[in-house]
Amino acid sequence: MWLILLSLVAGIILGAANIIADSWFKHLDKGITITLFVMLVALGAQIGINAELLANLPLLGWRAAVIAVLSIGGSVGALWLVACRWTAYAEREEA
Amino acid sequence: MVYIIIGTVLIGILAGRFIIPEFFAPALELVVTYALALMIFGVGIDIGRSRNALSSLKKLGWRVLLVPLAVAGGSLIGAASATFVLEMSLKEVLAVGAGLGWYSLSGVLIAQMYSVELGTIAFLSNVFRELLAFILIPILVGCVGKLAAIAPGGATTMDSTLPLIKKVTDPQTALIAFTSGFVLTAFIPFLIPVLLAL
């Protein structure tokens, strides 16, 4: 948690300080994408390496999947409503 | 992009199942932690140099808090509706839904406070939520909108799904996503025990 926060704050300070040459930002985007895939492979491996988790998947997976899908559906619906109100408010302010 | 992400995770699962020895698990955790830190550092640099996004966020003010509120409230309403489909009590489905994608904390916390079975369901459900978020975020940007695309990630929008959100939306939405994820991450350790005490 703290490592993540420190990394973000350090990155923001470095970015805001404007000391990195523009040519480096192309490499930065590529670097972020590569790191994302390294993390996804490691995340998958963490699931695959856990024999107990894999054995329990059919037993408890159905319940877990139903709750995950309904939670996502509820949150997308609620945030969509907020986004609609937000847009309407912004349009009223502009008018 | 979606297929590449699914393929990448599947390769990881197969590698974990057939190639990587079990004693390698702590090393994998380290890889994830440091890869995450490196990625977040890169995302931070991008946010830091985007002065327009920072000034826009200042203009948004308190309204930005409506985002985590809607994500948490919507997730709990959605999870509560699972009682009509599953043979589980309201407080059980709410506690699982309150993980908001933070599978490591919610699984352990619920296993310790309630039961190992519910802890396992919470772990799996929030793993699914994070994996589904990686698939749904790029799709939702086109179908529903940039802001609504933040929702599936829940608390993970401050770390693991943030680079993807940044990639498929814009720096301002990425900043809102980080703020939402941060608020939710701070909220979850309080929310789960309260729901389990109902």
Task: Tell if the CB–CB gap between B144 and A41 is shorter than 8 Å.
Answer: no
Chain A residue with the nearest C-alpha to that of B86 = A63
* Nearest-angstrom CA–CA distance, A19 and B3: 37
Task: Tell if the CB–CB gap between A41 and B8 is shorter than 8 Å.
Answer: yes
User: pTM (2 decimals)?
Assistant: 0.70
Question: Residue B104: CB partners within 8 Å, gap ≥ 6?
Answer: B123
CA angle, residues A62, A65, A71, in degrees to nearest 5: 140
Task: Calculate the CA dihedral of residues A92, B177, B184, B61 and round it to 10 degrees.
Answer: -40
* Nearest-angstrom CA–CA distance, A86 and A89: 5
Task: Tell if the CB–CB gap between A68 and B125 is shorter than 8 Å.
Answer: yes
Interface probe, candidates A69, A71, A72, A92, chain B, greatest B C-beta count within 10 A: A71
Can you say whether residue B111 is alpha, beta or left, with left for phi > 0 and alpha for psi between -120 and 50 degrees?
Answer: alpha
Specify the amino acid at residue B63. R
* Nearest-angstrom CA–CA distance, B154 and B174: 13
Residue B51 is predicted with a pLDDT of 66
What's B63's DSSP letter?
Answer: G
Interface contacts A/B by beta carbons within 8 Å = 278
| Per-residue pLDDT in tens (0 to 9) along chain B, 198 residues | 546 766 887 898 899 889 988 888 888 878 877 887 887 788 778 777 766 555 656 666 778 889 999 999 999 999 999 999 998 999 999 999 999 998 767 876 787 788 877 887 988 899 899 989 999 999 999 888 899 999 999 999 988 899 999 999 998 899 899 889 888 887 888 888 899 988
CA angle, residues B105, B187, B160, in degrees to nearest 5: 55
Phi and psi torsions of A21, nearest 5°: -65, 145
Q: What is the ipTM of this complex?
A: 0.77
What's B142's DSSP letter?
Answer: H
